[in-house]
Chain A
Amino acid sequence: KQEVTQIPAALSVPEGENLVLNCSFTDSAIYNLQWFRQDPGKGLTSLLLIQSSQREQTSGRLNASLDKSSGRSTLYIAASQPGDSATYLCSPSDNYGQNFVFGPGTRLSVLP
């Protein structure tokens, strides 16, 4: 069974800092890994999807990397803004590309 951990569990930073969120998973037989964002009381929004053949994906100020063999992914947020405050969850897929398991999340607070 896939086990997912995320470090740190919570993070509070001043605006403008560059951040790194970490995701670890135990089963490296994945097809992709997704990063999601969840605002309080809302659903999940997909931020980035990295296929197992890729090493990283970028979208604006977000960059996600994947080291499948070591079971790790990182989400890098550049020049953080208060609007980035949310919980960030990673989801490694199974070998069929199904993303049904989520990490516990990192709760990010960016202070103005």
Chain B
Amino acid sequence: DTEVTQTPKHLVMGMTNKKSLKCEQHMGHRAMYWYKQKAKKPPELMFVYSYEKLSINESVPSRFSPECPNSSLLNLHLHALQPEDSALYLCASSQDVGNSNQPQHFGDGTRLSIL
């Protein structure tokens, strides 16, 4: 079991649906991240939150909308996605952004399929 919990584990949605991915950690970490990972490729950074504020947006399309309601929760709201958005979405957290002594802790991801 990982210390970063992601729900749901699997999600199938149509291109007109609206859904949300959820990520939760209780390690007191103040930095949280969303990554997108396609099959047999490394994770690609999407967003970084530091102390509940968005600090990095890697030019992600607006159909992906992140939200950090509190220091333990991170959401990714999805709307009007495209088939190429099908991927494994990983959430991670760390003590702080740029803290070289502390690694990122990853959840097991949400496997997203867009029909």
Contacts and interface: CB of A to CB of B under 8 A. Distances in A.
A43 B109 contact: yes
B8 to A, nearest CB: 14
B91 to A, nearest CB: 8
Specify the main secondary structure of chain A where it touches its partner: loop
In which size bucket is the chain B interface? 20 to 34
Given A34-B103, A51-B101, A42 B109 contact: yes
Nearest to B109: A43
Q: Report whether over half of chain B's contact residues are helix, strand or loop; otherwise say mixed.
A: loop
Q: How large is the interface on A (under 10, 10 to 19, 20 to 34, 35 or more residues)?
A: 20 to 34
Interface stretch (A14-22, A65-73, A74-82, A96-104): A96-104
Contact of B42 (A31, A32, A98, A105): A105
A19 to B, nearest CB: 20
Interface in A48-65: 49, 51
A46 B104 contact: yes
Interface stretch (B59-67, B73-81, B92-100): B92-100
A41 B111 contact: yes
B45 interface: yes
B103 A89 contact: no
Contact of B100 (A31, A42, A44, A104): A31
B98 A97 contact: yes
